[in-house]
Amino acid sequence: MTNIAILGFGVVGGGVADVITKNNDTIARKTGEHINIKYILDLREFPNHPLGDRVVHDMNIILSDPEVTVVAEMMGGAHPAYDYSRAALEAGKHVVTSNKEVVATFGAELLEIAREHHVRYLFEASVGGGIPVIRPMSSCLAANALYEVDGILNGTTNYILTQMIRAGKSFEEALAEAQAKGYAERNPAADVEGLDACRKICILSALAFGKSFSPADIHTEGITKITLDDVAAAEMYGGVIKLIGRTGLCDPDDPDSPVYMLVAPHVIAHDNPLAGVDDVFNSILVRGNAVGDVMFYGRGAGNLPTASAVVADIIDILSHKDAEIFVPGWKTAGADELCQTETLPYAFLVRMKAESRGAAVAGVRAAYPDAEILTAADDDNGTLAFVTPVTTEKALGEAFPDGVLSAVRIMP
Ligand code: HSE
């Protein structure tokens, strides 16, 4: 029997306990032993929960118990989750986590500490909820030089956008539903402002390119400025708006090239498979120089899907107990190793004020002779929607110094 400790008994921590309790015999058939949840660390008491007697409030009880070999951290937030994870690794305990903030910010350091102490730091649940993506990227695609990763990485914003587009719900109503379903972060600003997706693309970028960038250095836009007029303009173009995390090599043929990375709403053409990824589902497209394109798809948030990934990491540890596993290192990288987002090649879906359609069209044509005007002449409501040819954010800003109503990147 393997003794574990759960840190944080919220949505995901509770889900991990449920999955272990329900599937313990199945897990034992696969690994040869059952999992015993010896401790649950939380500030609260859970007197009515069947595992309520395992609750402790002092991390030192867990750290000093040699019977505990695996710590599952689902606390959320950077501190004390990082501090407890580090202490557990230093105490020779394996750590598994769903905490993207800790992995994105401290992953390079914690992987190094795990290596030094001959234990493992696993974080399958930190990206894509229940979707197996971390392990496939680091193992199954290991033969490839990867050069691009694009994904719908936040279930809450995808749920909100889908409900707004398909069911005509308001932003607030859809967000409240996502919160009730346990998808949203404790502070949902991290979802709707793009920070959660930013942390996840930082993790995927580090896996793909071995460079760990600080989320603070990444161009990050959320969905709060997206309006139903933008949604309608995207439909005129032939697509839908999705919040996308993108990262890749600036020179796809040079694995040492600088990296680009951003999180922003993108127009996705209907014939792109990402356009059909709705509600809480996430999807991640990985491009490698041998395999070509690989897509991962599944539930990106929610207690049981995320718990499924956490428990899979625990099972991985149980299945390789005596093996020294090679852990690829992540090099901490600075903003100077990132390509400037404002110079990335992109076409844009633009909406601008047009008191006079003729003057607005002439202005667009002067800047971009090949621009595609989307707003029909008989649909003149004082705005003009158009698509630029491939340009840059910088050039677009220079072409329209007085600003535009919105400019949404179009997924290449
Ligand atoms: N708040 C996150 C989301 C949870 O909505 O995707 C899963 O990481």
In 3D space, the residue among 214, 263, 201, 281 whose CA is nearest the CA of residue 78 turns out to be 214
Length of the chain: 412
Whole-number pLDDT of residue 321: 85
The CATH code of the domain that includes 150 is 3.30.360.10
pLDDT in tens, 119-133: 999 999 999 999 999
**Same domain for 240 and 355?**
no
Examine the domain organization and report whether 55 and 107 are in the same domain: yes
- How far apart (Å, rounded) are the C-alpha atoms in residues 304 and 18? 8
**Residue 110 belongs to a domain:** yes
Query: Do both 312 and 295 map to the same domain?
Result: no
Q: Which of 154, 161, 181, 202 to mutate to test the pocket of ligand 1 (most atoms within 8 A of CB)?
A: 154
Q: Indicate whether 272 belongs to any domain.
A: yes
Which entry of 93, 200, 211, 242 is annotated as an active-site residue?
A: 200
Angle between helices 155-167 and 228-237 (to 10 degrees): 80
Report which ligand 1 atom has the smallest distance to the Cα of 190.
Answer: 1
316, pLDDT greater than 80: yes
* Distance set, CA 352 to CA 98, 146, 253, 380, 386 (Å): 42, 38, 38, 12, 9
Two tokens, residue 237 = 């173009």
Together in a domain, 362 and 238: no
Neighbours of 54 (CB within 10 A): 18
pLDDT per position as a tens digit, 7-18? 999 999 999 999
The DSSP symbol for 125 reads G
pLDDT in the model for residue 377:
86
Query: Which residue reads 């008191």 in tokens?
Result: 355
Q: Are 129 and 299 in contact (CB under 8 A)?
A: yes
| 271 and 375 co-located in one domain | no
C-alpha angle with apex 301: 295 to 306, nearest 5 degrees? 90
Strand partners, 72: 6, 96
Number of H helices and E strands in the chain, helices first, is 13, 18
HSE toward the beta carbon, residue 80, CA cutoff 13 A:
12
Percent of the chain with pLDDT over 90: 94
Average pLDDT, the chain: 96
379/356 same-domain check = yes
* Residue of 98, 101, 126, 185 with the most ligand 1 atoms within 8 Å of its CB, for mutation: 185
Instruction: Check pLDDT > 90 for residue 381.
Output: no
Report whether 61 contacts 88 (CB < 8 A).
no
| Structural domain includes residue 170 | yes
* pLDDT 10s digits, 137-183: 999 999 999 999 999 999 999 999 999 888 889 899 999 999 999 99
Looking at residue 32, which CATH number applies to its domain?
A: 3.40.50.720
Q: What is the CATH number of the domain that holds 405?
A: 3.30.70
Q: Are residues 260 and 403 in the same domain?
A: no
Same domain, 243 and 168: yes
CA 129 to CA 134: how far, in whole Å? Answer: 11
d(CA 235, CA 246) in angstroms, rounded, equals 22
- Extended beta strands in 270-355, E state: 281-288, 292-299, 331-332, 347-353
- Residue 97 has which token pair? 């986590």
Query: Any alpha helices (H) in 91-170, and if so which ranges?
Result: 100-116, 134-135, 155-167
Q: Is a pLDDT exceeding 90 seen at residue 204?
A: yes
Q: Is 214 among the domain residues?
A: yes
Flag whether 338 is in a domain. Answer: no
Q: What DSSP line would sit under 271-286, residue for residue?
A: TSGGGG--TTEEEEEE
Question: Do 98 and 198 fall within a single domain?
Answer: no
Residues 65-77 pLDDT 10s? 999 999 999 999 9
DSSP single-letter state for residue 379: G
| Assigned token pair, 27 | 């897990």
Place of tokens 């910010």: 105
CA atoms within 13 A on the CB side of 390: 6
Q: How confident is the model at residue 322 (pLDDT cuts 50, 70, 90)?
A: confident
Give residue ranges with CB within 6 A of ligand 1: 129, 154-156, 183-185, 191, 196, 300-301
30 catalytic, yes or no?
no
- Establish if 136 belongs to a structural domain: no
Report CA(380)–ligand 1 centroid distance (Å).
39
| Total number of domains constituting the chain | 3
303-319 helix and 11-31 helix, angle to the nearest 10 degrees? 40
**Residue 327 scores a pLDDT above 80:** no
Segments forming the whole domain that contains residue 270: 143-299
Same domain, 123 and 169: no
Distance 363 CA to ligand 1 centre (A): 42
Q: How far is the CA of 188 from the centre of ligand 1 (A)?
A: 9
Q: Find the range with the poorest average confidence among 135-139, 318-322, 394-398.
A: 318-322
**13 inside domain:** yes
Please indicate, yes or no, whether residues 293 and 398 belong to a single structural domain of this protein: no
In a domain, 68, yes or no: yes
Residue 282: pLDDT band (50, 70, 90) is very high
Tell me how far apart the alpha carbons of residues 219 and 341 are, in angstroms, rounded to a whole number.
Answer: 7
Say if residue 392 is in the same domain as residue 312: no
Per-residue pLDDT band for 412 (boundaries 50, 70, 90) equals very high
pLDDT tens-digit series, residues 333-361: 999 999 999 999 999 999 999 999 999 99
Q: Has residue 328 got a pLDDT over 80?
A: no
3 state SS of 181: coil
